[in-house]
Amino acid sequence: MTDTTPLGIIAGAGAFPPALARAATAQGRPVFGLLLKGIAGRELEAYPHAWVGIGRFGAILKAARKAGCRDLVLIGSLVRPNLWTTVPDIGALKVLPDVVRLYRGGDDHLLRGIAGLFEREGFQLLAAQDVAPELLMPAGVLGRLAPTEADRADIAVALAAIAALGPYDVGQGMVIGGRRIVAVEGAEGTDGMLDHCRHMRESGRLKWPPGTGLIVKAPKPGQDRRIDMPAIGPATIEKAAAAGLRGVAVPAGSALVVDMEEVVRRADALGLFVVGLEAGVK
Amino acid sequence: MTDTTPLGIIAGAGAFPPALARAATAQGRPVFGLLLKGIAGRELEAYPHAWVGIGRFGAILKAARKAGCRDLVLIGSLVRPNLWTTVPDIGALKVLPDVVRLYRGGDDHLLRGIAGLFEREGFQLLAAQDVAPELLMPAGVLGRLAPTEADRADIAVALAAIAALGPYDVGQGMVIGGRRIVAVEGAEGTDGMLDHCRHMRESGRLKWPPGTGLIVKAPKPGQDRRIDMPAIGPATIEKAAAAGLRGVAVPAGSALVVDMEEVVRRADALGLFVVGLEAGVK
């Protein structure tokens, strides 16, 4: 990959945008940060960059063109419902009817629509894992601990339930134990769901002994892998441990992992397994 | 229905057990309250009754036999994971291997199993609505406000998603708006899910304008209607309003309503619609 146009990284929050920037740089590809105001961290200020408002689609396009970008990656966490609530600029107004139409559907519609909007403007939207495959979840057990047969049975049930909910654009993550699903991820996101599980345990609503239950994250069938990959990182491990869970399972090759080393270190320290499932949900 | 054996009401929390007792009494049928310690309210003390521990299956059977009951109804809310955590008595120990086996599955397995346990002991487990059909959700709009066409579209999506999750014993309730499902009911129960939605709105995680979104509750396919009917009451309306929702939808004839008059009064006062759906999920 000897593309010399800068890779435009439209950066949300978290550790993924800097990880991607490091990976691209290591490959000799220049990087240009399109940093979303109020959302992105400051690490990408170490690279050529511009701060842009998230609702200001026109400003993002203009900055990307000026920097000579042709390929864009949208990465990092966004609290989705915020996406279009800031005052839109002229560029956004131009596309607003599309956005409103898209917004009426679920996540997938919105996100696929955003990819289409960038492409209509002459950019190519790439998946982070196409630029940096090292960010993908590998197959197999990552740390010291492995799931049991009972855990594998729970994982299979959760994967099937995630697939069943796929057409409804919800439930990319679930918490399950003893073959009973106790939480389904909605608008609260993965971290929110794990916090919610912690509260259910603390309040006695969920009377599992500690070290019962696990979280499964998987892409919905047909999910746009350029935009909405399931992701885990050290914070996922911390929150899963705080929720009293015993492990984290994601399909190998179908989820991003930020800071793999730290994920493994914390999982081992906190007594959780982390597994990349070989037979992923397609 | 001129059965003169007392109807044994195994009573959990909330307003349903007294409502059922009143309905049976109005039909001329004697009532015997089997009141679950620490869970049931004191209203049923106005009838012949015994207080029984929830884990003490043998004591429940013995009290029911002594009172001359043949028909039993299990009604009121139970925080399910608590169900078998108290010290079981001899009767329970006798059935414990069954219970443990049942507990490994989801809600449905457990509940169907409980029905089977009572039947094996010579009792008949009735559905509350078979004794008191007036507790069933009627068809149509209950109060002043009606769902819009857009609300109807949301309701259809949620019903389909609830049906899709049916085999996984989760998701009897969902919150949806603009065709996007934002919350799926897990172990937190309906009230917990509504509280969770309120928190998501208060924290800005869910940026819906007030009066956006609605809750749909429906039985899962194959759900045992004697034990686990979806239910709404005045508290559901209060919590839905606090979560900023615009309405409540449940299939007519497939959900229980406690205190219909008060449900309508509060829904009208708080500006919510309440609708009994004519084409329910089977």
B160: contact with A, CB 8 A cutoff: yes
Q: What ipTM, to 2 d.p.?
A: 0.73
Residue B253 has pLDDT above 60, yes or no: yes
Which of A111-125, A202-216, A231-245 is most confident? A231-245
A232 is a domain residue: yes
Tell me the pLDDT band of B14, cut-offs 50, 70 and 90.
confident
B87: contact with A, CB 8 A cutoff: no
Which residues of A are less than 8 Å from B208 in CB distance? 81
Of B132, B160, B191, which residue sits at a domain end?
Answer: B132
The pLDDT of A221-246, averaged and rounded, is: 85
A2 is a domain residue: no
Which residues of B are less than 8 Å from A168 in CB distance? 157, 160-161, 164, 181
Determine the length of chain A.
282
Q: Are residues B34 and B117 in the same domain?
A: yes
Q: What SS3 class is residue B150?
A: helix
Which residues of B are less than 8 Å from A196 in CB distance? 188, 196
Q: Are residues B153 and B212 in the same domain?
A: yes
Nearest CA in chain B to A107: B180
Tell which phi-psi region holds residue A167, choosing left (phi > 0), alpha (psi between -120 and 50) or beta.
Answer: alpha
Residue A2 has pLDDT above 50, yes or no: yes
Residue A95 has pLDDT above 50, yes or no: no
Of A178, A189, A205, the CB nearest to B188: A205
B83: contact with A, CB 8 A cutoff: no
Report pTM. 0.78
Q: Are residues B125 and B177 in the same domain?
A: no
B232 is a domain residue: yes
A96 is a domain residue: yes
Which of A3-12, A201-210, A265-274 is most confident? A265-274
- Chain A closest-CA separation from residue B184 CA (Å): 6
B51 is a domain residue: yes
Q: Are residues A17 and A53 in the same domain?
A: yes
Q: Are residues A269 and A205 in the same domain?
A: yes
Q: How far apart are CA A199 and CA B263, in angstroms?
A: 29
Q: Which residues contact B46 (CB under 8 A, 6 or more apart)?
A: none
Q: Are residues A74 and A103 in the same domain?
A: yes
A residues 60..79 contacting B (CB < 8 A): 79
Of B132, B158, B189, which residue sits at a domain end?
Answer: B132
Q: Are residues B212 and B239 in the same domain?
A: yes
The pLDDT of B216-223, averaged and rounded, is: 82
Which residues form the domain of A125?
A: 7-132
Nearest one of B39, B261, B7, B273 to B147, comparing CA atoms? B273
The pLDDT of A110-133, averaged and rounded, is: 81
For residue A100, what is the domain's CATH number?
Answer: 3.40.50.20
Q: Are residues A239 and A202 in the same domain?
A: yes
Residue A282 has pLDDT above 60, yes or no: no
Which residues of B are less than 8 Å from A164 in CB distance? 164-165, 167-168
Q: Are residues A101 and A168 in the same domain?
A: no
pLDDT value of position A254: 87
Q: Are residues B83 and B142 in the same domain?
A: no
The pLDDT of A116-137, averaged and rounded, is: 88
Nearest one of B9, B70, B79, B1 to B43, comparing CA atoms? B9
3-state DSSP percent of chain B in helix, strand and coil, to 5: 40, 20, 40
Q: Are residues B66 and B23 in the same domain?
A: yes
For residue B165, what is the domain's CATH number?
Answer: 3.40.140.80
A157 is a domain residue: yes
Which residues of B are less than 8 Å from A107 in CB distance? 180
pLDDT value of position A85: 36
Of A109, A132, A155, which residue sits at a domain end?
Answer: A132
What is the per-residue pLDDT across B98-143, written as a single tens digit (0 to 9) for each?
444 444 444 445 556 667 778 888 999 888 888 999 999 999 999 9
A1 is a domain residue: no
pLDDT value of position B113: 64
Q: How many domains does chain B have?
A: 2
CB atoms A161 and B165 under 8 Å? yes
pLDDT value of position A30: 96
What is the per-residue pLDDT across B43-68, written as a single tens digit (0 to 9) for each?
999 999 999 877 677 888 899 999 99
Q: How far apart are CA A274 and CA A237, in angstroms?
A: 9
What are the beta bridge partners of residue B160? Answer: none
User: Which two tokens mark B189?
Assistant: 């129960």
